[in-house]
Structure formats: C-alpha cells, structure tokens
Homo-oligomer: A and B are copies of this chain.
Amino acid sequence: MADTLLSAAAKNASHLLSDPANMPWNPYYPPGSQILNYAANSWSVPALLGIFFTTCAILFTSTYFVAKRVDKTLTSAELSQIMWFVLSGCIHVFFEGYYAANFMNLGEKQTLIGQMWKEYAFSDSRYLTQNAFVLCMETVTSVFWGPGCLIIAAMIMLRHPLRHPIQIIVSMGQFYGDVLYYTTSAFDHYVLGVTYSRPETFYFWFYFVLMNAFWIVIPGYLIYDSTIQSARAISRLQKVEGTKKVT
C-alpha cells in the first residue's frame, strides 16, 4: 500500500521534475534550487508573521486559563509546561503536519500555511526541494511528537505516573531531531559549500537560528527535569524497600 502510493508519487515527481516548464525562477538559496511550479506569496510578510504569532499567543494564554480553571492546584511550573506542550503539539500537528502532507508541491501552495512555509523557507530551502532528512524528521515529528506533546499535557493535569518517562521520550525526539536539523544544514554549508538560507541576516538568525532554538532549550531542560524526577522516585523506592533493586 505504502509502496504503491510512493511509487505513484515517484512517477509523478520524475515526470514533473524533468519538464523545465514546471521550474520557474525562484528567490531561494542556493540559486538554481529546483522548486516545482513556484508561485510567489500574495500575502505580506507582516500579515503572515502577525497571524502566526497571534495564533500562538491566543493558544498559549487560553491554555493557561483553561488549565487553571480545570485544576486550581497546578503549580506555575506545571502550568507553564502544559502551555508549552499544547503550543508545541499544535505546531507539530498542524503547521509541520501541513508541510509533511504537502512536501511534493509546497512551492505552488497559496493557502495561509503554505505561504507561511514559503516565507520560512527563505531561511531553509530544503522545505521546498523534497529533502529526505527534513521530510522524514518532520513526518515523525508531526505524527508522533505532536500527539505525544498533547498526551503529556493531559498527563501533567492527571499527575500520571507515565508522565516523566513519556516526557523524556517525546522531548528527546524533538531535541535530537532539531540537533540533526541544525547540524545537517551546517555540514552542507561548511563542508559541501551548499547554503540553504538567503544571505539576509533576518532570515538566518530569526527564522533558522532563533525559531528552532526553542526546541533545543526547552526540551533539553524538560529531559533533564524528568530524568531527575524519575531517578529521585527510583532512589526513594530503593530506600523504602531497603534494596538497590527496582523491580
């Protein structure tokens, strides 16, 4: 089934990629990047960024009020972690999921999220050129780490015993995916001399470096925190049971 679908996609791709009429000029780096049926954005940059960050802000604050209403005993650490996992989960499922579902022809998309991706891709053209690593990493992220984030948010509310081990798994998925995302791009730039970001400072430093850094710093801290919490529980249990064995 997957084979058949992918074979069809491959036939489609080779047919389209071999026809220069489907490859209009585009402003992405490196110059000459092959982007199928590229269409320039019709929305302005302030509009695209404004809608994205406003949506994030609304989601972030409404999560705070809903969670606080459901359980008044939540600590501020728990509340901020719930806000992170709901926001991050929604970005994975809807924003990154859109790319994963439309990676073959994202360059021609004029939908709201499609235009957001074409704006972001000024800092990393791999999103528009069927790059194997970016597509596989983003597909796993949207299918597993996205729902995983939302499940953890619920587990924090429930103080579920599985919360910390699952949090290590999901945050590790985000952290390691992001490390490989940065390092593959740096490798192609420094070693192979292929640069995916346009030269303007804004694209590289704001979109590529800063926007992705959140998924290094926050999951990094959460992995550390859950490791300490799990080890503390195991250690206390070892003392309670008067043994150094867990099971």
- Complex Cα gap A140–B226 (Å): 22
A235 at the interface (CB under 8 A from B): yes
Contacts of A190 in B (CB 8 A): 3, 6-7, 9-10
A235–B161 contact, CB under 8 A? Answer: yes
Contacts of A180 in B (CB 8 A): 133, 136-137, 140, 180
Copies of this chain, complex-wide, total: 2
| Chain A interface mostly | helix
Contacts of A137 in B (CB 8 A): 180
A238 at the interface (CB under 8 A from B): yes
Q: Which of B104, B227, B238 contacts A165 (CB 8 A)?
A: B227
A246–B233 contact, CB under 8 A? Answer: yes
Q: Give the B-binding residues of A (Cβ under 8 A).
A: 3, 6-7, 9-10, 13-14, 104, 130, 132-133, 135-137, 139-140, 159, 161-166, 168-169, 172-173, 176-177, 179-180, 183-188, 190-193, 223, 226-227, 229-238, 240, 244-247
Q: Show 16 residue pairs from A and B whose CB-CB distance is below 8 angstroms, ordered by the A residue.
A: A3-B190, A6-B191, A10-B193, A104-B191, A130-B192, A132-B184, A133-B184, A139-B183, A159-B245, A161-B232, A161-B235, A163-B234, A164-B234, A165-B227, A229-B246, A233-B233
Please give me the 3 A-B residue pairs with the lowest Cβ-Cβ distance, nearest first: A6-B190, A161-B235, A159-B244
